[in-house]
Structure 1
Amino acid sequence: MPRALALDIGGSKLAAAVVELPGPVVTHARSVPTPAAQGGAAVLAAASDLARQVLASAVGEGVAVEVLGVSSAGTVHPVEGRITHATDTLPGWAGTPLRDHLQHELGLPVTVLNDVHAHGVGEAVHGVGRGHRRVLAVAVGTGVGGGLVVDGEPVVGARGVAGHVGHLPVPEAVGMPCTCGREGHLEGFASGSGLRAVFRTRTGQDLTARQIAGLASADDPGGLHDAARALLAEAGRATGRAVGALLNVLDPDVVVVGGGLARAPRPWPSSLAEGIRLEAMDPVAATPVLVSGAGAEAALWGAAHVALRRATPPHAAPADSLAPPDAYDPTVPPVRAEEDPR
């Protein structure tokens, strides 16, 4: 059976394992905290060391590994596998030549995906989306992200940016600052960090999204309980609006909702459905919406799946609609019409 070394680089944890497909069967798993505060170079060194340890452990037991699949926070250049943009969760991560560095360090062919894209592939191919050609994955946790997976490949876009579900505008977030520097986006209101900020503004109480969900589910009506339920209802509806809009544009077979808030208590689930009904056109309004069951390992599954797939003809080169060989490079100035060399 084909095996890949898989590496997941997140803001708080680094994880690596050997993934055997089909299955998936995960072995030799290890994880360490991400040294994010020490900067991008320290994160790269720690990730390389962890991958090297897992690879050595596997080889020592006679387990052959063919490729390395990487799931990383940040925007990933679709051809070069370098990090073009990253948030303050990983200071100094932008600009990291992730693919080239890991290929040099480990001697394996390397494929790098954005972490949400990798998670979406894992869920689509090996999770609750299995058996469907077009799966829209939406992750609602500390932030909000997503990705469209078609025939086992993530649609990453010309710049690697496709899937930023959290940066769709929704009326519930009007006037609220977003992590991208704009206002009125879903993530600024309905993510875990957004819920915390809104609840603090409304009640003066600084509670995490988990604590807010706990208040909403408690059998103690009045006061903070009512405020928590009202906020979860608004957040669910806002998320549903974004999903409904995406159904109109993408028309997937199914939607898979994951992340910590995907299992939030009432009224979040019913409000999610309400938001979808408010925005989705009739032909797509009944698209099944499934709750993720894969957990954190889905990113490892997805990274391994794509790395093995692209290493095997005819998938060695990404399809034009996913990551063309001449994909947009934000460091190269555009050629104006009058400067066209042809």
Structure 2
Amino acid sequence: MTLPATVAVDVGGTKIRAGSVIDGRLAHVRRVPTPATAGAQAVLDTIAEVAAAVIADVPGSGDAESGAGGGDATDARSGVRGADDSGVGSTGCSGDLAWRIGIGAAGVIDPATGVVVSATDSLVGWAGTELTAELSARTGLPVRAVNDVHAHALGESFAGASRGTRSSLLVAAGTGIGGGFITDGRLLTGRNSAAGHIGHVPSAAAAGLDCPCGGTSHVEAIASGPGILAAYRRLAYESAEIDTGPVELAAPGESHVPAAATPSDSPTSAAVTSSNPATAPASTRELGAAASAGDPLAIRAFDIGARALGSALGGIANVLAPEVIVIGGGLAEMDEIWWAPLREAFAAELIPAASGIELVKAELGQDAALIGAAGLWDDSPVSEDGDSASRARTNKETN
């Protein structure tokens, strides 16, 4: 008897992760750098190499290295995290396993054709790549692919924060802001597979700000990690220009700043932060640490970004009415300095019929994309009516 086995792959701008999924369990996870500036062919070569290495790691699959088959596994039904291995092994395949490849990749991916419809410059020459066809030619294996955030949405619906629901919206909030909407077990990809670009809805808080897509006034320009960092720098500059003392954080009743983090208690004043570049946060991660330490401008920047995103999600919830909205990405790791204003702004936008929709934190982390990519093989990614939509199984727990 031949057992289906999937190499699940997550292709990002900085790293490629891949692992085996057999009988619902994720294991043998490897991580390699993405040759992002070397062109699409180099990226495809790297994917093929890491896929071969994962197969070689599976016991009985061929000439695996001495450490093959070790390490913990992730059960895609329970969400228990596994461990990364390192290095690249040789190719092998067991006669008892029927291998295929599932991919979640950066860019707008048409799951029906496996073509990268469009992409940013984070992967040079990625747009137009015939992803599934070229990778299948390299590996001799069947391949299916979707956008990486869509894969995250599938993974969370299979085994994460939205498992057991009939409809859910996954929001990835980090360097950019993307999303994936699932209803009745179907991932909606929309016209040209462009559905889910939550970061590009209009936002009054982002009025006049340039967005990475080339437009202006989109929520990503103010609510993404880089957008929040840019807002902080604007606040610091304005504070230094005015030089009138501590900056007022928000209008009465608006701020969620803890009492211990008021301007008078803060160890980092606006004037010191803005006038000393050496001590100013250089990344969103550093800015988050500054906010947690009580920097009033950092707190204010996160407050602005969180409220902008919360308002946008409230409007989207009024249209889609998902059972739950799952928040993942780097910003989801923030504390209540970000989460509290996000929830408040979200709730303020909901119509009565949409009340009760919850914002919850994603559970699977970076493994969600791998579990979702493997799930592409549960059903055909193309519906009978020809839509470029991926079928996702509804995973209901039986406790």
TM range (shorter): 0.7 to 0.9
Indicate the residue corresponding to 2:42 in structure 1: 42
Q: 2:332 aligns with which of 241, 252, 262?
A: 262
Asked if structure 1 preserves the Cα contact closer than 8 Å seen for 2:188 and 2:389, the reply is: no
CA RMSD of aligned residues (A): 1.9
Indicate the residue corresponding to 2:209 in structure 1: 176
Larger radius of gyration: 2
Indicate the residue corresponding to 2:318 in structure 1: 248
Indicate the residue corresponding to 2:292 in structure 1: 217
User: What SS does structure 2 have at the residue aligned with 1:181?
Assistant: coil
User: What SS does structure 1 have at the residue aligned with 2:190?
Assistant: coil
Residue type at the aligned position of 2:129: T
**Does 2:342 correspond to 1:272?**
yes
Deviations 1:29-64 (A, max 9, x none): 211001112222211211122112222333227461
**Does 2:160 correspond to 1:149?**
no
Deviations 1:184-235 (A, max 9, x none): 11111111111122222322545211111111111x4xxxx11011111111
User: What SS does structure 1 have at the residue aligned with 2:182?
Assistant: strand
Structure 2 CA distance, aligned partners of 1:265 and 1:186?
A: 21
Structure 2 CA distance, aligned partners of 1:91 and 1:299?
A: 22
Residue type at the aligned position of 1:16: A
Deviations 1:267-303 (A, max 9, x none): 2111111211232211112212211121101000001
Asked if structure 1 preserves the Cα contact closer than 8 Å seen for 2:112 and 2:382, the reply is: no
Residue type at the aligned position of 1:285: S
Deviations 1:226-252 (A, max 9, x none): 101111111111111111111111111
Indicate the residue corresponding to 1:7 in structure 2: 9
Deviations 1:141-165 (A, max 9, x none): 1110001012443211121110000
Q: Which one is further off, 54-63 or 167-176?
A: 54-63
Structure 1 CA distance, aligned partners of 2:367 and 2:333?
A: 17
Residue type at the aligned position of 2:317: L
Structure 2 CA distance, aligned partners of 1:159 and 1:27?
A: 33
User: What SS does structure 2 have at the residue aligned with 1:36?
Assistant: coil
Asked if structure 1 preserves the Cα contact closer than 8 Å seen for 2:281 and 2:287, the reply is: no
User: Is the alpha carbon distance of 1:319 and 1:212 closer, same or farther for their aligned partners in structure 2, counting shifts above 3 Å?
Assistant: farther
Residue type at the aligned position of 1:109: P
User: What SS does structure 1 have at the residue aligned with 2:192?
Assistant: coil
Structure 2 CA distance, aligned partners of 1:196 and 1:90?
A: 23
Asked if structure 2 preserves the Cα contact closer than 8 Å seen for 1:39 and 1:90, the reply is: yes
Deviations 1:122-173 (A, max 9, x none): 0111101110011110010111000101244321112111000000111111
Structure 1 CA distance, aligned partners of 2:104 and 2:281?
A: 32
Shift of the alpha carbon at 1:256? 0.5
Indicate the residue corresponding to 2:81 in structure 1: none
User: Is the alpha carbon distance of 1:118 and 1:143 closer, same or farther for their aligned partners in structure 2, counting shifts above 3 Å?
Assistant: same
User: Is the alpha carbon distance of 1:65 and 1:186 closer, same or farther for their aligned partners in structure 2, counting shifts above 3 Å?
Assistant: farther
Unaligned runs of 5+ in 1: 311-315, 326-342
Shift of the alpha carbon at 1:321? 8.0
Residue type at the aligned position of 2:290: L
Residue type at the aligned position of 1:68: I
Asked if structure 2 preserves the Cα contact closer than 8 Å seen for 1:190 and 1:236, the reply is: yes
Asked if structure 2 preserves the Cα contact closer than 8 Å seen for 1:216 and 1:266, the reply is: no
Shift of the alpha carbon at 1:320? 3.5
User: What SS does structure 2 have at the residue aligned with 1:37?
Assistant: coil
Q: Percent identity?
A: 38
- 1:168-317 equivalences in 2 (<5 Å): 168-203=201-236, 204=274, 205=280, 207-218=282-293, 220=294, 225-310=295-380, 317=382
Shift of the alpha carbon at 1:21? 4.0
TM value normalised by structure 1: 0.86
Q: Which one is further off, 176-185 or 282-291?
A: 282-291
Q: After the TM superposition, list the runs of 4 or more consecutive aligned residues in structure 1 that deviate by more than 4 angstroms.
A: none
Structure 1 CA distance, aligned partners of 2:385 and 2:191?
A: 9
The alignment of Structure 1 onto Structure 2 pairs a total of residues equal to 313
Structure 2 CA distance, aligned partners of 1:251 and 1:304?
A: 27
Structure 1 CA distance, aligned partners of 2:385 and 2:301?
A: 42
User: What SS does structure 1 have at the residue aligned with 2:29?
Assistant: strand
TM value normalised by structure 2: 0.74
Q: Which one is further off, 179-188 or 205-214?
A: 205-214
Unaligned runs of 5+ in 2: 65-93, 237-273, 275-279, 391-399
Structure 1 CA distance, aligned partners of 2:292 and 2:50?
A: 40
Asked if structure 1 preserves the Cα contact closer than 8 Å seen for 2:227 and 2:305, the reply is: no
Shift of the alpha carbon at 1:318? 2.2
Shift of the alpha carbon at 1:17? 0.9
**Does 2:134 correspond to 1:109?**
no
Residue type at the aligned position of 1:45: D
